[in-house]
Amino acid sequence: MKKYAGFGAAMLMAAMILLSGCAAGSHVFVNAVTVENEDVWSASYHKFNGSHQVEWQLEDGEQGFEIGIGTTAGELDLEIRKKDGEILYQGRALPTSMFTVDGNGAGTYVIRFTAKNHVGSFACTKIEQDIGASARFTQAEIKAARDCVKETAALWEGCELIEIRYDEAQFDEAVAKYKSIGRGAGNDVPAEDVLVLFVDFTVDYSNIDSVADAGVEERTDSMWFMIRDSGTGAWTVDDVGFSAKDTEK
């Protein structure tokens, strides 16, 4: 029995040596429990050596990453960068901690852990952009309206969204503007079926022949008014316009 046990241990050691000598990105986990999918990447282990990385896609509305580190012994480094090379975070010999790293727009991100005899754990999850709190609407309702803005903007030639947010402090004044001189003046949609989002975006007129002055124009605090049927229908964009600053005039 000792002969076979020794042979098994030797084979395991050889496999570990072989793996740790592979190309960049090779790694060795000992007694590890891991989870790896498109939204969560985590591992707890008795030992981690080498480098391990994933590529994650951030979509519009996803703010960045929440990182959790557990360090009992050894060293664990972390680098997060966009696939085009822009480095967003670099940390060396990370202690037990939890923190967030903001992304820089939609795109592909490379998350890479590098360990030297690290004992402990790591976890990485995506976090959504904070749209804004509301006493009028649920987060699901606001997110559905946000998705409606994205779908509509995707149909506009040269339009690129920068930020979408909900601001309850400006809600009443904005809706009053919509109801008095916007398209809301001509419909009977009740207030509970009107939602306004404040949107920053750019429009690139370079490839639009009908526009004389080509170039990129930035719109900030534009108000996108969504309406729905009877409190349960899907949101549709009914009106867009007026900088939020215009409501002060």
Higher pLDDT: 44 or 14? It is: 44
- DSSP per position, 4-65: HHHHHHHHHHHHHHHHHTSSTT-EEEES-EEEESSSEEEEEEEEEEEEEEEEEEEPTTEEEE
The DSSP letter of residue 180 is H
> Across all residues in the chain, what is the average pLDDT?
81
* The Cα angle at residue 177 between residues 173 and 179, in degrees rounded to 5: 115
25-128: CATH architecture: Sandwich (2.60)
Give me 217's structure tokens: 């124009």
pTM, two decimal places: 0.54
In tens, the pLDDT along 138-156 reads 888 888 898 899 899 888 8
Give the Cα separation of 134 and 142 in Å (integer).
9
Tens of pLDDT along 209-235?
555 556 788 888 899 999 998 777 899
User: In the prediction, which pLDDT does 92 show?
Assistant: 97
User: Maximum Cα–Cα distance for the chain, whole Å?
Assistant: 89
Instruction: Indicate the pairing of strand 159-165 with strand 194-204.
Output: antiparallel
Phi then psi for residue 228, to 5 deg, are -145, 170
What do you get for the CA distance between the two ends of the chain, in Å?
A: 88
CB 242 within 8 A of CB 196: no
- Amino acid identity for residue 170 in this structure: Q
234 class by beta-carbon count within 10 Å (0-12 exposed, 13-18 middle, 19+ buried): exposed
Least confident of 10-14, 67-71, 204-208: 10-14
Alpha-carbon distance values, 148 to 90, 175, 216 (Å)? 36, 18, 23
Note the pLDDT tens digit of each residue in 88-119: 999 999 999 999 998 888 889 999 999 999 99
Domain ranges of the chain: 25-128, 139-248
What pLDDT is recorded for position 198? 92
